[in-house]
Amino acid sequence: MRPHIRHTYDRIVTNLNIHEISGSLGDLGTLLPLMISLAVSGQINLTSTLWFGGIWNILSGLIYQVPMCVQPMKAIGAVVLASDMTIQQNMAAGLGVGGIIFFLGATRTIHLIDIITPKPVIRGIQLGTGVSLMIKAHGLIKTLQWRISGENWSDNYTWVLLAFILVISCYNSRVPTALILFFIGLLFALIRMFADPEGPTNPPVAGGHYPDTIIVPSPEDFQIGFLNAGLGQIPLTSLNSVIALAALIHDLFPERTASTTSISMSVGIMNLTGCWFGCMPYCHGSGGLAGQYRFGARTEVSIIFLGLCKLLLGIVFGSSLVGLLKLFPTSILSVMLFVSGLELAMAARSVLDNAADSRIKYEHFLVMLVTTGSLVAFSNDGIGFLTGMVTAAIIAAQRLGARCWFERCVNRLQSLRPRNVQEEVDALPTSINLEEPNPEEMPIVHRGAKD
């Protein structure tokens, strides 16, 4: 056995413990509700999502040797669900974002997004995306009833109330409520499927499942999918899934520093490969790493373990699980989706951080609300992003004066140039609070880790 392979094997065996396994659960609160909702509605291929999700988990762990999470692109997922987009339009959004992020990484210009995008616009997209998920959650339970009968024993407003109370009761703890709700819902789905007197309908089939669906979006799919769902994902992925993640790795694992170039190219490759097979658009994320770290993950073992579990499910059951997931109680799924949106929207609370005076705070809040309102009203994060950018520019020009605003824009444009590796490392923050990580993409399994 070659020395480096032997070293990797020994490292995995040495670090395989209950803490790493616990840490692997830290980001499931983001993955499960979106994956189940998109799979049931036919907007992703579940086999491909499990296969590629598992492969990316394993490769990310082996390459970076940290608990590098692989999680859904939430802005895309939220708009796709809210707008009832097709799988082709979903994949077009993922391919478009993946291609742009890969290009920005390959040219070492990923930091340009940070320079040209006002933070209130980012917070507005996060708030709007979170609200869209909460609205979608309400749409799932419109037909439920309070009265419990033999037909709706597993899916009624009583279970909505109980599930919500469970999540809120454990909100400030490390109890993995998303995983608990998932297993309760899965148990109900299994009972409904196999207790049917007429026999199970579309039960899971154990066998050799593999990605066998090729998705080729049309130009119209790209126009609808990328402009409506993908455009607003670009600044979120660039800032939270690349720049903030590189900073968090630098702080938590200084001996394993990852450049923004390699992370952004990794995100690009994941989507430029998997989306052709109907895989859910994936990215990395600082919140996922923070969640896994707080649950006990300290090495790549946690993420490799999770990847093996995904890959095994994809191989053994694959898309045959969709029949079972269709019986998953919407009462429980709606709560999981609602709280997932709540966590994403909570990131907007930092919009006033570092604001110099009351006028600046007012402007930041205004831009954020305009961005949020536009996104939610049109179910389109591209419109939200562009509306927020225009609003921010007009408000800033009013405050600074046209000449001063123009000069600042010119100075920013002049600062746009590729960075080398050393400049990327020097630009990373050196004092991230380990107890309260960056708040952009926090999973719903607990409150402590923020993204």
H helix runs in 65-118, sequence order: 74-83, 87-106, 111-116
User: Is residue 408 predicted with pLDDT exceeding 90?
Assistant: no
Burial 412-449 (b: 16+ CB within 10 A, else e): eeeeeeebeeeebeeebeeebeeeebbbbbbbbbbbbb
User: Is residue 438 predicted with pLDDT exceeding 70?
Assistant: no
User: Is residue 121 predicted with pLDDT exceeding 80?
Assistant: yes
DSSP-derived secondary structure letter, 24: T
User: Is residue 51 predicted with pLDDT exceeding 90?
Assistant: yes
% of the chain residues with pLDDT over 90? 30
User: Is residue 135 predicted with pLDDT exceeding 60?
Assistant: yes
Q: Are 442 and 291 in contact (CB under 8 A)?
A: yes
Distance, in Å, from the CA atom of 161 to the CA atom of 171, rounded to the nearest integer, reads 15
Q: Are 433 and 252 in contact (CB under 8 A)?
A: no
CA atoms within 13 A on the CB side of 186: 12
- Say which range, 120-124, 325-329, 439-443, has the weakest mean pLDDT: 439-443
Mean pLDDT of the chain: 83
Cα–Cα distance list, 411 to 406, 407, 428 (Å) = 9, 6, 22
The predicted model scores a pTM of 0.77
pLDDT tier for residue 312 given thresholds of 50, 70 and 90: very high
pLDDT tier for residue 26 given thresholds of 50, 70 and 90: low
Quick count: other Cβ atoms within 10 Å of Cβ 310? 22
User: Is residue 451 predicted with pLDDT exceeding 50?
Assistant: no
DSSP-derived secondary structure letter, 226: I
Across the range 115-127, mean pLDDT stands at 85
Across the range 213-227, mean pLDDT stands at 94
Distance, in Å, from the CA atom of 245 to the CA atom of 428, rounded to the nearest integer, reads 10
Across the range 213-237, mean pLDDT stands at 91
Tell me the range of 270-284, 320-334, 401-415 where mean pLDDT is highest. 270-284
Across the range 42-46, mean pLDDT stands at 93
**Those residues with Cβ within 8 angstroms of residue 285's Cβ, 6 or more apart along the chain or in another chain:** 27, 30, 69, 71, 240, 241, 245, 440, 441, 451
Across the range 129-152, mean pLDDT stands at 86
Across the range 6-22, mean pLDDT stands at 78
Distance, in Å, from the CA atom of 299 to the CA atom of 310, rounded to the nearest integer, reads 18
pLDDT tier for residue 28 given thresholds of 50, 70 and 90: confident
Q: What pLDDT is stored for residue 418 in this prediction?
A: 60
Distance, in Å, from the CA atom of 75 to the CA atom of 424, rounded to the nearest integer, reads 26
CA atoms within 13 A on the CB side of 201: 8
Across the range 303-322, mean pLDDT stands at 91
Taking CB atoms within 8 Å and a gap of at least 24, the contacts of 420-428 are 420/108, 421/259, 421/261, 424/108, 424/111, 424/246, 424/259, 424/260, 424/261, 425/250, 425/257, 425/259, 427/111, 428/246, 428/247, 428/250, 428/257
User: Is residue 439 predicted with pLDDT exceeding 70?
Assistant: no
Q: What pLDDT is stored for residue 226 in this prediction?
A: 93
